[in-house]
Structure 1
Amino acid sequence: MPLKSLGFSKGYLFDVYHTEDKIYLWIKTDSGDSLLFFDSYRPVIYAKGAVPILRKLVRRLHELDALGDDPKFEKRKLFYENKFTDVLKLTISKPSVLSKITKKLYALYGRFDIYHSDIDVPTSYMFQKGLFPLCELKLAYTPTEEGRKIRKIKCLSAVSDLEYKIPSFRQLYMRLEKSHRIGFQSNPLILETDQNSYRLKTDKPKDLLLEIDSILQKEDPDIIFSMYGDHTIFPKLFYYSEKVGFLPSFDRDKTAPIRRHITTKGTSYFTYGNIVFRAPSYPLFGRWHIDSANSFVYKEAYLPGIVELARLSRLPIQRMARASTGKALTYIETDVALRRGYLVPWQKSAVEAPKTALQLLEADKGGLVFQPNISLGTTAENVAQLDFAQMYPRIMVNHNISPECVNCPCCESDPDAPVVPGIGYKICTKRFGIVSEALEDVLYRRAYYKRKVVEESDPEVRNVLDSKQSSLKWMLVTSFGYLGYRNAKFGRLESHESVNAFAREKLLAAKEVTEEKDYVFLHAITDSIFIRKEDSSPFSSGELEELCEEITKRTGIKIEADGIYTWLAFPPSSQDPLMPVANRYMGRFLSGNLKFRGIGARRKDLPVFIREAQMEMLEWMRNKISISDLKSTENEILSIYDKYDLLLRKGRVDWKVLLLKKSTTKELDEYEVDGATSLSMHKLRDMGIEVQAGEKIRYLVVNQSSKTKGLRYIPEEELQLSDKKTFYDRNFYRKLLASAFREVWSEFASFDNFDSLTDDQGMLPF
């Protein structure tokens, strides 16, 4: 090829997606331009099974014209068995058939194993080319009638880089003025940039689309951040576009054959004891669309956190924004497996080994918890909290806990193989686990970012670093659960049980060390312990450092002092006033900072007004150094309570801060009791609004004791559309306020009867 026919470009990999065997790449140049290129790519999968079954599979792929090359047998290494086997290599020219193969795996073909078939095509392409989202790259291309055809591509940065540049992006924010459930009827659409704000009427679809297009042409955003964009805004806008025959410039790509299936119905699924709702997905092509209401990572770590996880997992940015941190970890583990030459199964293939009842009793245990010792009191002074640093993922790294390494065939009869305490599982000594290697890098990166946050003086840079470490924290939090998750690709219950066994042993070892050194052991939960001296005197300089060094030496996992509380309280259970709750406490550090867990101020289901009231009480408590300081100035916190109580009694509280938020646990027709949630859902249905299981609703308590069900609660949407004077149940909210006050003050109060703080004075209008 003559050199003059080639073009060259350099920049950052902004977006990557595919239509069958064609991959599209958007490059963001240093000058801010966005350029589109395309490449050809045919993913490779492998199949293992009886020859007649494999022949049926090949025949079907030929019928679908989905084979890009002749099938051939190769020797590849199995993940769990760690040995080579013969598998059939299949080059797929129509990646859309991959989902059909896995969905109908047994029904159509009979029993066989398939590998690499469920790796996302853009991610598979990036694996093969050594690329990742926002990597720096340079490429050579040929201009064609279809566009810029990539001839050569080279990555100029590495996934392992800790210091990397995130290009600057033009951003636009999109939301509806009122609740997203009201839809577009009398609900203006708000578009905002750093410089401009637009309020668009939504009653005339074509005019609305033309206005949006004009704004997009003018602002040309790289990223559109929305609130409920996936759930409501984009489905409606794309529906309008089909109806009137005009599509605004949401996508920069005008060449790829992009098709969208418009749906407003999300999915509801059960996980960890909860029903979770996931909205449909509406990514854009050549721009990013990130729905802040449909992205866990964005809520916790913002854009830098999404970028960090996307780089490590090689999931495109918009895919990562909508994915869980567990999915990101699975792709990081997949990367490790591919680099080692393993066959990656399309689903979890290691089932739990049979156990006797006694073995099940010994192995099937969770983390260790010591209830707060109420014989020593529910309040204490000069209490130290010691925390293990990322205990569970660190156990998985230190002890090589990975699904292929627990009770592996190669070490089953090895008498020198390490044994899991209490349950007797053996751990492989011949290879380092996939999960262990993946987590080792994540732990290192998070420790680096946390250290840099402390050292950094620029607040903007510090916020970016903090977002990165926060995203990695949540990945580490989910890493343990994924070991036992039934659908985890790299999961196995025995490895999950092994981590718990080691964790229990290490917490017990920490308890033993503290008691050997004559400290009073107050409480422990999973990876934290609370101790004080016998006489509750302050800790001297170096005492805790020496204790932490001994525990670290004994357990092999670093433990550090989270802080020393000048006072610490364990609020009682609402069911039993004499029984504290293990994960509920609050206290003031020597630094003056307050730490609290499990109380109302951290609950998102409580009204903003109640949380703000409790936060003001906590802020007042933060300034009191000792328990005697708290008790001697009780009149001050009572005056804070009285201030908020008076606002409720006088009806001076805006209904917007009195809304309670609840998650729906089932479809409306499945509710058997007429509680606040079901009655609010009934009202929404009467308004033409359907709520799926797992969605969150907000409502105002109007008259909880009314005999007429329809007068007890009003959903937020009805309030937004009503111009009538609104009432709230004063008694209900005053009791809620008293309960929040009791939660933080009952351990210090000079009185027992918090119910006397409220009385019945009827309802007041706004």
Structure 2
Amino acid sequence: MSRTDPYAFEFDDGTVREWRLTDRGAEPTLVEDYTPALFVSGPDDALADLRARLESDPKTVETRVERWATDLHEAHVGERSELLRVGCDRVDDVRQLAREIRGVHESGTHAPGTFRLFDVDLEPGFRYCLDRGIDPAPTRELRTLRLELEDRELADGDVSGLRIEDEPVAGEDGGGDPRSALETLRTRLEREDPDVLVVSHGELIPLLSEHATELGFEEDEFHLGRVPGWTQLAGENTYESYGRVGHSPARYRAPGRAIVDTSNSFLWNQSGLAGLEYMVEQTGRPLQEAAWGSIGTLLTSRQIRLARREWAVLAPQNKWEPERFSDLRTLHAADRGGFTFEPKVGFHEDVHEIDFASLYPRIICEHGISPETVDCAHDAGDFVHDSHRVPELGYEVCEHVPEATDGDAAFLPTVLEPLLSDRGDIKARLADDPAEPEASRLRAESGAIKWVLVSCFGYQGYRNAKYGRIECHEAINAYARDVALTAKRRLEDAGWRIVHGIVDSLWVTPREGVEPEPLEAVIDEISADVGIPLEHDGSYEWVCFVPLRDSIPDGPDEGAGAFESGSAGALTKYFGKREAGAYKFRGIELRQRSTPAFVAESQRAFVEALDRERDPEAVCDVLERRLSSLRGGDVDPSALEITTRVSKPLSAYRKRTRTVAALERYERRGIDRQPGQSVRYVVADDDASGPERVRLSFEAGGEYDVDYYATQLVRACESVLSPLGWDRSRIRRALHDGRLLELSAFVD
């Protein structure tokens, strides 16, 4: 692959402008011979009729018949189908033509579903790189420039508050004004010539450009791209994924530069530029398209790229393969998730956490789980092939890889094995303690890989996954349960007690009165047995597993203080102290996005007090002091901000919630908040009605509802003390029993 490949692309009226990085900046090249295409499969007579119709369509440049595999099963048995390739004049014509094929040419003349469409919903840059064999990974270190504007200023159209690289842009008097802000930005753009604009909101692109025009800047005097002009690529929209409402803001293009909208880039916020660059290399999506893509989108892009290159399989517009019929016994066995062990609620000492490294991806690779291999379509008379059966389910997994493919493994393992290998190499390099910034880059790349590996399993069960299949999802779960039970039996035989386990992680402690076998030896034995590395993730001085909130028993009698209860435990709520001294928190309030900073900091103080004193009353002393600060007005209101996601439009809410009150205040300020976006507010008077119940984070005033936040503090304290059998009523009694505070209560 030539390393002079472009990194950014623009599509206008049938032409493509490629931008190649140079030592000094970037240079454009105009391409006029690109013909994007979609593919159609169907009965021969129907395809002939469609071809005749499309040849007279002005959007169509050419039509021809090509041989491709329409799915992984077809590729697996070495077959190909004849498909109609329809070349279009412009990239935007592809989706329009697909709609017309389905809604006009098929409707009324053919039965629904006569035609299957392929390579329809590909992003323009990704499509172009796929068609031309281009690797859009940057060929040198990218230069970035970060631009930020607060929500209120964005809503007001006030660009004087612009921040560049986290520094305010101010005028000579220190107050700032729009012209000086734009002049400063112009100077920075000319001097630094960034390859990537990292913006806090995509709407900054039109806002800054429109202000420049209003202030009299000529087009060649001020432009955010390397040449004048900007383009809106897509409008904002609301979507729902796995029952969660999300918001995708409008997207824009500035010629010659990639734009990363931090409000619309999960991967940027998790892994930064280094993680994005790694995924550009792995998926073939240009940087800007990789930035706005979800983890599922990036995984799908990698799959589409490998399917096209190594399996000659096109990307279907719609998933066609339904779940296969199964008998009742198989359905009962298959309709289960990963194995979980109910946590032993309480305070446990000398605990070890052990994890299967990338369990689900390694199961896929170890056992060759893939849509084309699980109960594959082989005719036994065609050729001899090896297979094995999935535990519990009996699904047959074919081990044959056809000679027609370029790889030597099933499809999903081909997608995942390079990522697993890279992550293993990164971990090994990080273990050598490299200097910064290499260590930072390696951590970012590892984080990007982790998210893709995490999603690969669930994506097999996603109804719209282009290369997903529910039977693969079920098979992976079955193997995971078998692995967990194998580990459980061996650990218990070796004298270890399991106090919690969830899918790929186990927490164990020595059984009372038993000298256990060395844990590392047991781990090595289990790893060899199941074929997946089991790693010792860490040792804890102590761990507390938190009970379900509605299962917390009534407070114990005076003098009781058992450090273990028998109530049901929450599967993902625990906290503990590692032997190295660091605390680990999962699921409790301080790990929740909506928890105010003051409550989160207080909960950490409760944990630290429990660690020092091993005494619930000492924790209550810290709570008493924190409540006193709250009631005395000593807490900065900014530390009481609550952040929550909006799930629907303001008009659709039926209950007068705090979120509704916040939305009403945003509306007063002229700030639009769509479903999927977040609101930030402080509870000012929880007994009030309407917007007076809260105030927004940027509004003046320092009032807050003491009783509301006191309740939040007590709930946070309850999460810490509930493993010891203390509920909220017991905590409140401790606060009112007249005890003198211990000196330790004043130590955070």
Q: Please tell me the TM-score bracket, short chain as reference.
A: 0.7 to 0.9
Is residue 2:370 matched to residue 1:405?
A: no
**Following the alignment from structure 1 to structure 2, what is the Cα–Cα distance between the partners of residues 555 and 10?**
42
Q: Does 1:131 find its partner at 2:134?
A: yes
Give the equivalent residue in structure 1 for 2:72: 79
Contact kept, 8 Å, 1:275 with 1:693, in 2: the verdict is yes
Q: List aligned pairs for 1:435-514, cutoff 5 A.
A: 435-514=412-491
Cα displacement (A) at 1:122? 2.7
- One-letter code aligned to 2:680: R
Aligned to 1:600: 589
Cα deviation for residue 27 of structure 1 reads: 1.9
Q: List aligned pairs for 1:99-110, cutoff 5 A.
A: 99-110=95-106
Evaluate the alpha carbon distance shift between residue 574 and residue 219 of structure 1 in structure 2; reply closer, same or farther with a 3 A threshold.
same
Residues 674 and 520 (structure 1 numbering): CA distance in 2 closer, same or farther, change over 3 Å? same
2:155 paired residue number: 183
Q: Which residue, out of 381, 389, 392, partners 1:419? A: 389
Q: How does 1:303-318 map to 2 (within 5 A)?
A: 303-318=273-288
The whole-number CA distance in structure 2 between the counterparts of 1:270 and 1:513 is: 43
Q: How does 1:658-673 map to 2 (within 5 A)?
A: 658-673=640-655
State the partner residue of 1:580: 569
Trace 1:33-432 onto structure 2 (pairs within 5 A).
33-39=25-31, 40-74=33-67, 78-82=71-75, 83-110=79-106, 111-136=114-139, 167-169=141-143, 171-176=144-149, 178-180=150-152, 183-184=155-156, 188-193=160-165, 197-199=168-170, 212-227=185-200, 229-230=201-202, 232-238=203-209, 240=211, 248-254=222-228, 259-260=231-232, 263=235, 266-339=236-309, 340-374=311-345, 378-410=346-378, 417-431=387-401, 432=409
Aligned match for 1:533, one of 510, 517, 520: 510
- 1-structure distance, mates of 2:183, 2:520: 65
Distance 2:117 2:30 in 1: 29
* Alignment partner, residue 559 of structure 1: 534
State the partner residue of 2:705: 729
- Tell me how far apart the structure 1 counterparts of residues 457 and 242 of structure 2 sit (CA, whole Å): 13
The alpha carbon displacement at 1:10 in A equals 7.6
User: CA contact under 8 A between 1:734 and 1:758: conserved in structure 2?
Assistant: no
| 2:398 partner letter | C
How far 1:683 sits from its partner (Å)?
Answer: 2.8
Question: 1:575 is paired with a residue of what secondary structure?
Answer: helix
**Residues 630 and 748, structure 1, Cα contact 8 Å, conserved in 2:** no
CA deviation after TM superposition for structure 1 residue 684, in Å: 2.4
Per-residue CA deviations over 1:257-286 (Å, capped at 9, x if unaligned) read 9643685xx322222221122222123221
Deviation of 1:415 (Å): 9.7
* 1:359 CA displacement: 3.6
Evaluate the alpha carbon distance shift between residue 181 and residue 511 of structure 1 in structure 2; reply closer, same or farther with a 3 A threshold. farther
Q: Secondary structure at the match of 2:41?
A: strand
Counterpart of 2:406? none
Structure 1 residues 523, 657: CA separation in 2 closer, same or farther (over 3 Å shift)?
Answer: same
Distance 1:33 1:675, change over 3 A: closer
Per-residue CA shift, 1:577-610, capped at 9, x if unaligned? Answer: 1332111111122222222211112111011111
Cα distance 1:564–1:215, how it changes in 2: closer, same or farther (>3 A)? closer
Query: Does residue 548 of structure 2 align to residue 548 of structure 1?
Result: no
1:85-131 CA distances to partner (integer Å, 9 max, x unpaired)? 22223333332211113334422222212223333343233234443
5+ residue gaps in structure 2? 107-113, 402-408, 553-566, 737-748
TM-score (norm: length of structure 1) = 0.83
SS for the counterpart of 2:585 is: strand
Q: Is residue 411–residue 428 contact of structure 1 (8 Å, CA) maintained in 2? A: no
* Contact 2:70 2:313 (8 Å CA) reproduced: yes
Q: Would you say the 8 A contact 2:230–2:253 is kept in 1?
A: no
Name the CA shift for 1:459/1:214 in 2 (closer, same or farther; >3 Å): closer
CA distance in 1 between counterparts of 2:37 and 2:157 reads 49
Could you report, residue by residue, the CA deviation over 1:676-729 in whole angstroms, capped at 9, with x for unpaired residues? 1122222322333332222111111112123x4443222335x2xx4xx43111
Q: Does 1:714 align with 2:695?
A: yes
Provide the secondary structure at the position in 2 that maps to 1:329: helix
Comparing 66-75 and 726-735, the one that deviates more: 66-75
Matched residue type, 1:109: H
Q: Does the 8 Å CA contact 1:483/1:491 hold for their aligned counterparts?
A: yes
- 2:745 corresponding residue in structure 1: none
Moved more, 673-682 or 746-755: 746-755
CA gap 1:404/1:244 in 2 versus in 1, 3 angstroms: farther
Aligned residues: 694
Secondary structure in 1 aligned to 2:279? helix
What SS class does the counterpart of residue 609 from structure 1 fall into?
A: helix
Distance 1:181 1:681 in 2: 17
C-alpha separation in 1, matches of 2:673 and 2:175: 22
Distance in 1 separating the partners of 2:300 and 2:234: 29
Instruction: Note closer, same or farther for the CA distance 1:730–1:712 as it changes in structure 2 (3 Å cut).
Output: same
Tell me the percent identity. Answer: 25
1:349 deviation in Å? 2.2
- Distance across 2 between alignment mates of 1:19 and 1:35: 17
- Deviation per CA, 1:476-508: give whole Å up to 9, x if none: 011111111111111111111111111111111
- In the alignment, the residues of structure 1 paired with residue 515 and residue 270 of structure 2 have an alpha-carbon distance, to the nearest angstrom, of 36
Distance 1:320 1:539, change over 3 A: farther
* Aligned residue in 2 for 1:691: 673
The answer on whether the counterparts of 2:233 and 2:253 sit within 8 Å (CA) in structure 1 is no
Q: In structure 1, what is the equivalent of residue 557 of structure 2?
A: none
The Cα shift of 1:293 comes to 2.0
* Separation in 2, partners of 1:88, 1:710: 59
8 A contact 1:385–1:564 mirrored in 2: yes
Taking the aligned partners of 1:279 and 1:520, their CA distance within structure 2 comes to 50
* Counterparts of 2:73 and 2:213, CA distance in 1: 49
| Secondary structure of residue in 2 paired with 1:441 | helix
CA separation of 1:199 and 1:261: change in aligned 2, threshold 3 A = farther
What's the counterpart of residue 140 of structure 1? none
Within 2, Cα distance between the matches of 1:619 and 1:283? 49
User: Per the alignment, in what secondary structure is the counterpart of residue 634 of structure 2?
Assistant: coil
Aligned match of 1:644 = 626
Q: Give the 3-state SS of the residue equivalent to 2:569 in structure 1.
A: coil
Q: For residue 380 of structure 1, report the CA deviation from its aligned partner.
A: 1.2
Superposed CA deviations along residues 398-430 of structure 1, whole A, max 9, x for unmatched, are: 111111222211167989631222122221222
Question: Alpha carbons of 1:235 and 1:617: their partners in 2 closer, same or farther (altered >3 Å)?
Answer: farther
Instruction: Give the direction of change, closer, same or farther, for the CA distance of 1:539–1:135 in structure 2 (3 Å limit).
Output: farther
Aligned partner of 1:427: which letter? V
- 1:681 alignment partner, SS class: helix
- For 1:203 and 1:461, how far apart are their aligned partners in 2? 38
Q: Partner residue of 2:718?
A: 742
- DSSP-derived class of the 1:26 partner: strand
The Cα of 1:346 is off from its aligned counterpart by 2.5
Structure 1 residue 655 and structure 2 residue 637: aligned?
A: yes
CA–CA separation in structure 2 for the residues paired with 1:77 and 1:391: 30
